[in-house]
A and B are shown apart, each in its own frame.
Chain A
Amino acid sequence: MSFSDDMKKICKKTGDDAGRVGRNIKIKLFSEISNNTTVKTGRLRGNWQTSTGTPKYGIIERYAKDGGVNSGKEVKREILDNVTAFGIDYFTNNLPYAAVEEERKGFVAKSIANINRSIKEAVEDVRDWKNTYK
């Protein structure tokens, strides 16, 4: 059984829209990874890039701890702009030391450990949204 089958099952139970729930889960997961990422200069967090269909392979300079750009906010905006309901979305960080930091701090692994809670929250968010606007 695939992930989308599982999603449909969850949505059938809750009466929610599969696409909206799926997109919400991806947003929550990506945002949590970004939030868990260690911040020293902001460069590591700022290098999380969201794309659909193919992953990004470059490094970008999106950091400034005290300067004009808040890397976390920029990353969040990109997540919201790019994450799709049914597409294959990638969240990549190509800085050479990202893997070393991940090994020590586990910002991706910890977020995956929390995926059940993210799914629950995503379903609840969509349910609240539907209750508010229907």
Chain B
Amino acid sequence: MFEIGKTLINSFDNAEFDLPTKTENEIYDPVIGTAYAELIVLPNEKTAYSVKHTDQSNGIFRIILRYPIGESKDTIKTKADEIFSVYKLHSIVTDTENNNYAEIVKQNCQEGVRETAWHKLVLDLYYQTFTRR
């Protein structure tokens, strides 16, 4: 259930979005004036897909972009588009080593809000995954 989280986070790092990232339980002190992305994977429970050998699950890969207040709102929106263009609908995020893959089935962007020194934009990538039991 949690392997897919690693796969998604690794795929973000490998895509080279040129943003420092903060993941769960990782110590990262945001630097004032430097944009960063917080990555959270929210998996749902795993259920049986077939009697014999396949399980299914789904969840959300949540990317929280924080940009310094002074920066243009277009910069953060451009970055959001760049991320969405990598994680296209029905694209497959794979980890061939561990035989994991997730299919992106929905993209969602919440309205941007101001949060202390940051302008925050939350991107949600809904995924589904089928794994060998």
Interface residues of A (CB under 8 A from B): 103-106, 109-110, 112-114, 117
The 7 lowest CB-CB distance pairs between A and B, nearest first, are A106-B42, A113-B58, A109-B60, A113-B126, A110-B42, A114-B44, A110-B44
Nearest CB of chain A from residue B55's CB, rounded to whole Å: 13
Query: What secondary structure prevails in chain A residues at the interface with B?
Result: helix
Q: Are B64 and A113 in contact (CB under 8 A)?
A: no
Q: Which residues of B contact A114 (CB under 8 A)?
A: 44, 58
Q: Are A106 and B58 in contact (CB under 8 A)?
A: no
Interface size class of B (residues with CB under 8 A): 10 to 19
From A104, A109, A112, A114, residue with most partner B Cβ within 10 Å? A109
Q: List 25 A-B contacts (CB under 8 A).
A: A103-B62, A103-B64, A103-B122, A104-B40, A105-B42, A106-B40, A106-B42, A106-B60, A106-B62, A109-B42, A109-B60, A109-B62, A109-B124, A110-B42, A110-B44, A110-B59, A110-B60, A112-B126, A113-B44, A113-B58, A113-B59, A113-B106, A113-B126, A114-B44, A117-B47
User: Nearest chain-A residue to B42 (Cβ)?
Assistant: A106
A110→B128 CA distance, assembly (Å): 12
Tell me the complex Cα distance, A109–B127, Å.
12
Query: Closest residue to B38 on the A side, CB-wise?
Result: A103
Q: How far is the CA of A64 from the CA of B31 in the complex (A)?
A: 40
Task: Tell me the chain B residues, 94-115 only, with Cβ under 8 Å from chain A.
Answer: 106
Considering the chains assembled together, what is the distance between the CA atoms of A104 and B62 in angstroms?
Answer: 9
Given contacts A105-B42, A106-B42, A113-B126, 18 further A-B contacts (CB under 8 A): A103-B64, A103-B122, A106-B40, A106-B60, A106-B62, A109-B42, A109-B60, A110-B42, A110-B44, A110-B59, A110-B60, A112-B126, A113-B44, A113-B58, A113-B59, A113-B60, A113-B106, A117-B47
Per the bound structure, the CA–CA distance linking A113 and B58 in Å amounts to 7
Chain B positions 43-96 with a Cβ under 8 Å from a chain A Cβ: 44, 47, 58-60, 62, 64
- Rounded to whole angstroms, the CA-CA distance of A105 and B43 in the bound complex is 10
Chain A residue with the shortest CB-CB distance to B122? A103
A112 to B122, CA, bound (A): 16
